[in-house]
Structure 1
Amino acid sequence: MGHWLDRNIIEPGKLPLLLALAAFVLTFLVTRAITRLIRAGKGPFGNVTSGELHIHHVVPGVVLTVVGGFGAVASGEEGAWPAIAAVVFGVGAGLVLDEFALVLHLDDVYWTEAGRKSVEAVVLTAALVGLLLAGFAPFGVNDLSQDELQNRAGAAASIGANFLFALIALSKGKARTAVFGVVIPVIALIGSVRLARPDSPWARRFYRRRPRARARSFLRAYRHDRRWSGPRRTVENWLGGRPDPTPRP
């Protein structure tokens, strides 16, 4: 274990990234545990307030993210400061993304169906950072040969093509595929050639006069959601807690 850590993490200079990821995931898990206890009325915890103002934990999260980010930039590469700044940044990012849905909707949707976006953002971020930690580089730059890296035109063309595939996948309503495709280009390529989701900008633009393609798009989306929505909701409930039931009109 020590040899693997030295060779794959410390020598390549990835220790701050590992510490930031660990702090990020741990902060999210601890925060969710505390908020679930507060929701259930158990334990010594309670909401932080100033008068009648409820101070959400995204506020200290933003402060810690700013401090950790600027601290990492100012600390250079020597000493323990990069590692400390990485931990501070990871804690702040965990607090911020735990309330990502609140920032997105500008409303306290923490325990609603819309609040699931926070859990999705955290899982997606942790997975992407894990891929970077494993050695993947954005836009497939790590797949280029030394000759291609020396040839700036070839490198720029490769990066541009990968970015284009990611944009096409995003326009087809496949946000997760597009994000992961930035790091693993073959995923973006697959997402760009497959059918678009029926509610995507691509479908509205190119399937408007193609009823067969539109029907296939609806059928594939239905089968995909039917297969994966249940397991995804189970994992999200386990990680972030079950949302409040939506009141009937």
Structure 2
Amino acid sequence: MTRVLVVEDDPIIGEMLTLYLTEENFDVQRVETAREGKLALGIYNPDILLLDLMLPDANGTELCAEFRQLTAVPIIVISMKPSVTVRIQAISNGADDFLVKPFSMQELKVRMEAVLRRATSLSPAAKPAKALHAHGEAMPDIDQGLSLDLERRTIVLNGEHIETTFSEYEIMKLFFHHPNRVFSREELINAVRGIDSFINDRAIDVHVTNLRRKLEKNPKEPQYIKTVWGVGYKFMNP
């Protein structure tokens, strides 16, 4: 049974989420503060996190970054703020999706299932838990170059593990499987979020910028992720 951690202080919304998701065969635990949420991550070990951005002890999109540092599970933000700026900030800080209150419970379920599918697509049971070259062959000795560690869901650069957000890793996974192929921003949006989820061109650009900062010696002259002007991006592994 999928475990859902709900961090929501509004008693009405919190109860609605708990009742609906329980009826849909999810295992649900709800807490009301950021502190309780962080403690529950280790104790409850959720598969997905529903996070309100306005809590009694913390608020703002920085909450996404704080929770992302503690867990790699998908995070869906549920917020009263409809601002596009807030949405982009939340996604850039590690959220995997964003829903504005009030929202359809059925839509929430569909989005949860979408991010969970992507989160489990590279589970160790499904694929070998080894680092890969860009073309997919296993690497017995990772000292130089860029590769993926499927078990830890990290990028390995010259033997060093580079931590990424869920979405950054999904973008790199797509690039690795299709080196030298040019991807439009729309293709990257659909691959990372799913067609029904919120994200836009600007958010993709932010993810690529963050990846370049983590991977490139000179992000302004990238060697791995190239911009194809007027189209999108492509990955090259020198």
More helix by share: 1
TM above 0.5: no
Larger RCO (alpha carbons 8 Å, 6+ apart): 1
* TM superposition score normalised by structure 2: 0.34
More strand by share: 2
Larger Rg: 1
